Amino acid sequence: MLTVLLILIPFIAGLIAFGLKGSGPKVLGMISSLATVVIAIGSWCRFRTAPDSLNFVANWIPQLGSQFHVGLDGMGVMLCLLTAIASLLVFITIYNRNYEKANVFYGLMLLSQAGLTGVFTAFDALQFYIFWELALIPVYFLCSLWGGEKRIAVTFKFFVYTFLGSLLMLIGIIYLYSQTPDHSFSWASFTSMQVNPEDQKWLFWLFFVAFAIKMPVFPFHTWQPDTYEQSPTPVTMILSGVMVKMGLFGVIRWLLPVLPQGAAMWSDVAIVLCIIGIIYASCIAMVQNDLKRLIAYSSIAHIGLMCAAIFANNEQSLQGIMVQMFNHGINIIGLWIIVEVIQNRLGIKNLDQMGGMAQKAPRMAIFLVIISLANIGLPLTNGFIGEFLMFSGLFQYNHWFMAFAGLGIILSAVYTLGMIQKVIFGEGNELTATTTDLQPGETLALSLVVIMIIVLGVYPKPMLDLVSGTSEVVSKLF
């Protein structure tokens, strides 16, 4: 029942928010996201004692053998927690902003949260597909209504891209469904059947392309920098913090266990694509002048590493990637909060027009440094443990792959430190001289991020324990 509440609360709050006026939507959004954080933590506790009680099954379309089946495993709990925390952070950060048509803005934000939670909890393939699409629609409207100048064309490209990918996945799902002995969409029957290896060969691509577009993995990434740049920053936080995890989640939940031989056959190709993406995106990030695009490309590089680690297919790398999904989400949201602050104060996002902000906004500068260091995986920050596990898993799989992927770490230090230098150090100018430091809401959000960074960096055990069950199960099936 807790699992259903995780979807229902933001969904109902979202519908109500459409009808509210003034600061009503803001307050409602805050209440709803606080409630979901509490419930997500509650389901974590419940998961340790009685994991089966998190399942909820109801009849949906009996003729098709499709049920409404939500449930949580370790990875699900972790991602639902991330989704809830992400939306809480977003709502805290933008509490003092006044958006035009705020009721629609908050309503759509909450609906997208509901859709995302639905994706992470679905144990029925058809239901998974439906939530997968539903999470997209509110984001499409958010980007198109509140985005930058080129928003319409850019978000449209984003939509068509992901829609095409998900249709390919739908074919795969229907094909697998027709092969199941009991004609059912449930995860259990998908994973327990033995799909003919010849079929796995091509079915793999139907699923992988859908997930790769969402992550995004080179060469399916072209929508991503434009969309991140043009979207309003709160939406970018959700997009890069949570939504890209849908792709990784999809691979772990629906690709590896269902098509293990297909994945084994193509894992080298997938890893090579990821590594090309890591190096390519890092190089572009180094010469990027636009702050938002820089972070967008850095995100491609980080996701590339995670995706490569999935296909290295051992328990260690899987555990690493799951921990890293959470930590990357937190870190990148922290970075976007700072971008939001800078854009709010200066109204620009070009790096060459910034500089010297450390003097005017010292608190922001400290937060930026800590979050950036976490983002490049410095020891004692949360980014370290995940990257360490992923690299060691990748090393066991193939030394060369690990060596090339490791280049990404070095390059990420180069562009991240370069960004810090350009934003907060150096000479100030007239524009940056007018900057003011963080407001209370922003400070609160960033402090929460930094607390999580340090706590999970020093003591990552709870998170590792949470996901270890899932990684064991998946790596055995694989």
Contact residues for another protein (CB under 8 A)?
60-64, 129-130, 133-134, 137, 141, 144-145, 151-152, 156, 159-160, 163-164, 167-168, 170-171, 174-175, 177-178
Query: 10 Å Cβ neighbour count for 329?
Result: 26
The amino acid at residue 457 is G
Q: Are 171 and 126 in contact (CB under 8 A)?
A: no
Shortest Cβ distance from residue 232 to another protein (Å)? Answer: 14
Whose Cβ is closer to another protein: residue 27's or residue 137's? 137
Cα dihedral 457, 459, 464, 465 in deg (nearest 10): -160
Query: 10 Å Cβ neighbour count for 159?
Result: 18
Shortest Cβ distance from residue 163 to another protein (Å)? Answer: 6
Q: How far apart are CA 450 and CA 83, in angstroms?
A: 17
Whose Cβ is closer to another protein: residue 176's or residue 330's? 176
Tell me the HSE value of 43 on the side-chain side, using a 13 A CA sphere.
Answer: 30
Whose Cβ is closer to another protein: residue 15's or residue 403's? 15
- If DSSP codes are grouped into helix, strand and coil, which group holds residue 95? coil
Shortest Cβ distance from residue 344 to another protein (Å)? Answer: 23
Query: To 10 degrees, what angle do helices 382-397 and 315-346 make?
Result: 140
Whose Cβ is closer to another protein: residue 166's or residue 435's? 166
Shortest Cβ distance from residue 454 to another protein (Å)? Answer: 41
Which of 161, 169, 6, 10 lies closest to 79 in space, CA to CA?
A: 6
Whose Cβ is closer to another protein: residue 85's or residue 145's? 145
Shortest Cβ distance from residue 200 to another protein (Å)? Answer: 15
Shortest Cβ distance from residue 473 to another protein (Å)? Answer: 28
Whose Cβ is closer to another protein: residue 133's or residue 315's? 133
Whose Cβ is closer to another protein: residue 47's or residue 254's? 254
Shortest Cβ distance from residue 291 to another protein (Å)? Answer: 25
Shortest Cβ distance from residue 90 to another protein (Å)? Answer: 22
Whose Cβ is closer to another protein: residue 18's or residue 388's? 18
Shortest Cβ distance from residue 20 to another protein (Å)? Answer: 16
Whose Cβ is closer to another protein: residue 133's or residue 290's? 133
Render 332-371 in DSSP notation, one character per residue: HHHHHHHHHHHHHHHS--BGGG---HHHH-HHHHHHHHHH
Q: How far apart are CA 58 and CA 357, in angstroms?
A: 55
Q: Are 112 and 128 in contact (CB under 8 A)?
A: no
Render 10-71 in DSSP notation, one character per residue: HHHHHHHHHH--TTHHHHHHHHHHHHHHHHHHHHHHHHHH-GGGG-EEEEEEGGGTEEEEE-
Beta strand 56-61 pairing with 66-70: antiparallel
